[in-house]
Structure 1
Amino acid sequence: MPQKAFRFGVVAGATEGGAKWLSTARRAEELGYSTLLCPDNLNMPTPTAALAAAAAATTELRVGSFVLASPLRTARAAAWEAHSLTVVTSGRFELGLGTGRPEMRQQAGELGLPYGSGQERLDAISETVDHVRRLDGDGHTPVMIAAGGPKARRLAGLKADIVTMAGGVLTTREEMTGHVEEVRSAAGDREIEFAMNIWVVGTEVPPWIRGFIGVDAETLIEHDSLGLLRGDVDEMAAELERRRDEQGVSYFSVNGAFLEEFAPVVARLSGK
């Protein structure tokens, strides 16, 4: 299967107000990032509003959810929001979907929605994709599914345009290659773009990221973690080329904290 060209996203939330958020969007576009990706959490502005504003403040930058948590909306409501963003951004929206982290149980309760079993949350993702396809008509909202387990990888292979390889930050290269093959097997002849989130660029883990992933830089380095990218521009570019060769991943996202630090790699590899 031919290799896909590299593209890059930056993950950020509109937590510091509109001016800072729009500045981030414009800077991401200026630096050559393909996509501005927004997390989904009741403790920050909804991705719907944030991404619409970011798209309006830029010209070509794509925007995407990373990822809408299925427990926080009904499938029909999620599809409504997604299709609406596709319309108002003139096709620059990418719908990212996931089953949600465990803390979403409480947040779903605040919204009066059930958290649901793992299978029910996966079913909601599947239903959301079906609703979006119906609403799109002749259009097409690209769908990304965060695939962290075997059932999610199968669903992603069957229905996603983009599959972001979720899971633990200590997943080995060999394990990741196997996970990608699971998705490819389910996809058959369907063309898939594989994505991966890089938690840390360099060798220092910001405290809030360490709290989120549960390990320090030394542990990431010791385990050759795919969640970390380090070295100079040549070394980082070579590592991403290796990941594309070995795992087929061509779409990489980084946290907004590393927007500037990662930019030389974006300039080096975008579109190649």
Structure 2
Amino acid sequence: MTGGSTHEIRPLRFGVVAPITTDMPAWRDQLRGLADSGFSTVLMPDVPQWQPAPGPALAVAATITGLRVGTWVYASPVRPAWITAWEAHSLSVLTEGRFEMGIGTGRPGIADQLRELGLPLPPEGQRWSQVRDVVAALRELDGPDRHTPVAMAVRGPKAQALAAELADTVTFVMPQIETRAATVQRVESFDNRRGAELALHVPVVGDSVAAFMAGPDTDPAAVRAADSLAFLPSDPAAAAEEIQRRREEIGFSYFVFGADAAGALAPVVAELAGR
């Protein structure tokens, strides 16, 4: 059960966080490889000064393949709400409906980042008000004939309540050594009566930790030992079995990996995507 209704068994889909960390020809080749492997969505983090801005990067990515593109995820305090909504709506128009807006209140360390940028740090409650303002402005810009999907990265009760009201996709921000049982309890307490898609952010695959998805001090052995859902084995057969278990037992149907793990998991994606 998930928050007031039995979870829907959705077809599986797979996204990849693929920041531009190489030269452009290598990145373009990487995106084409993802498309050939059956991934559904190319995702871009929102980390100022680490790589190109997500909007232009995703606009370019959408011209390279026919995949969906999305932010994973916009940090609400970094820019005014209307500017975020305008960029998201523009990406939805320019990609002819292939854009998904992921949004949250920022990565761990967002306070330091905002200080470096000379921006104020609003209290967490205000940050979620900013998220609401972004979605409201996006819906106004979309108008009656367009619906840009919104994915929310949530942690506490206020965030979950907003996602239950507004999100098309929900991913749960959790400590990387949180146990399976604790994560299951978190998901089961979520009020999903609207039937939002449940997404799982998986930064650790085998001994590899995805860039931009986890901190540099992440210990894969500790994540694995905790039986954390932030971990998947790199063996394709074992990963496929575990992904199906997480869908059937918990309701996750959208799995997001780092680009470095895409090669190891390509056989899993080819087997399971759309099933």
Specify the alignment match of 2:26 in structure 1. Answer: 20
Specify the alignment match of 1:193 in structure 2. Answer: 197
Give deviations 1:138-180, integer Å, cap 9, x for gaps: 2010000001222211211111000012211122222222222
For the pair 1:175 / 2:153, whether they are aligned, the reply is no
Specify the alignment match of 1:8 in structure 2. Answer: 14
Q: CA shift at 1:209, angstroms? A: 7.4
Specify the alignment match of 2:170 in structure 1. Answer: 163
Letter in 2 for 1:28: L
Correspondent of 2:86 among 67, 72, 80: 80
Correspondent of 2:156 among 149, 152, 169: 149
Specify the alignment match of 2:237 in structure 1. Answer: 234
Give deviations 1:70-116, integer Å, cap 9, x for gaps: 11111111000000000000000000001002433343345543221
Contact 1:75–1:124 (CA under 8 A) maintained in structure 2: yes
Letter in 2 for 1:196: L
Q: CA shift at 1:221, angstroms? A: 2.0
For the pair 1:256 / 2:262, whether they are aligned, the reply is no
Specify the alignment match of 1:103 in structure 2. Answer: 109
Contact 1:21–1:54 (CA under 8 A) maintained in structure 2: no
Q: Equivalents in 2 of 1:110, 1:3: separation in Å?
A: 44
Distance of aligned partners of 1:207 and 1:27 in 2 relative to their CA distance in 1, 3 Å threshold: closer
Distance of aligned partners of 1:53 and 1:11 in 2 relative to their CA distance in 1, 3 Å threshold: same
Letter in 2 for 1:125: V
Distance of aligned partners of 1:267 and 1:152 in 2 relative to their CA distance in 1, 3 Å threshold: same
**SS of residue in 2 equivalent to 1:97:** strand
Contact 1:210–1:216 (CA under 8 A) maintained in structure 2: no
Question: Please, which runs of 5 or more residues in structure 1 have no aligned partner?
Answer: none
Q: Equivalents in 2 of 1:107, 1:175: separation in Å?
A: 30
Q: Equivalents in 1 of 2:108, 2:264: separation in Å?
A: 31
Q: Equivalents in 2 of 1:103, 1:231: separation in Å?
A: 29
Higher relative contact order by CA 8 Å / sep ≥ 6: 1 or 2? 2
Q: How many residues align?
A: 267
Question: Please, which runs of 5 or more residues in structure 2 have no aligned partner?
Answer: 1-6
Q: Equivalents in 2 of 1:117, 1:219: separation in Å?
A: 32
For the pair 1:140 / 2:147, whether they are aligned, the reply is yes
Distance of aligned partners of 1:85 and 1:223 in 2 relative to their CA distance in 1, 3 Å threshold: same
> With structure 2 as the length reference, what TM-score do the two structures score?
0.91
Q: Equivalents in 2 of 1:271, 1:207: separation in Å?
A: 24
Q: Equivalents in 1 of 2:229, 2:58: separation in Å?
A: 28
**SS of residue in 1 equivalent to 2:253:** strand
Specify the alignment match of 2:44 in structure 1. Answer: 38
For the pair 1:121 / 2:127, whether they are aligned, the reply is yes
CA-based RMSD: 1.9
Distance of aligned partners of 1:129 and 1:106 in 2 relative to their CA distance in 1, 3 Å threshold: same
Distance of aligned partners of 1:68 and 1:208 in 2 relative to their CA distance in 1, 3 Å threshold: closer
For the pair 1:58 / 2:61, whether they are aligned, the reply is no
Letter in 2 for 1:90: E
Contact 1:197–1:253 (CA under 8 A) maintained in structure 2: yes
Q: CA shift at 1:51, angstroms? A: 0.3
Specify the alignment match of 2:3 in structure 1. Answer: none
Give deviations 1:232-253, integer Å, cap 9, x for gaps: 3222111111111221101001
Q: Equivalents in 1 of 2:165, 2:70: separation in Å?
A: 20
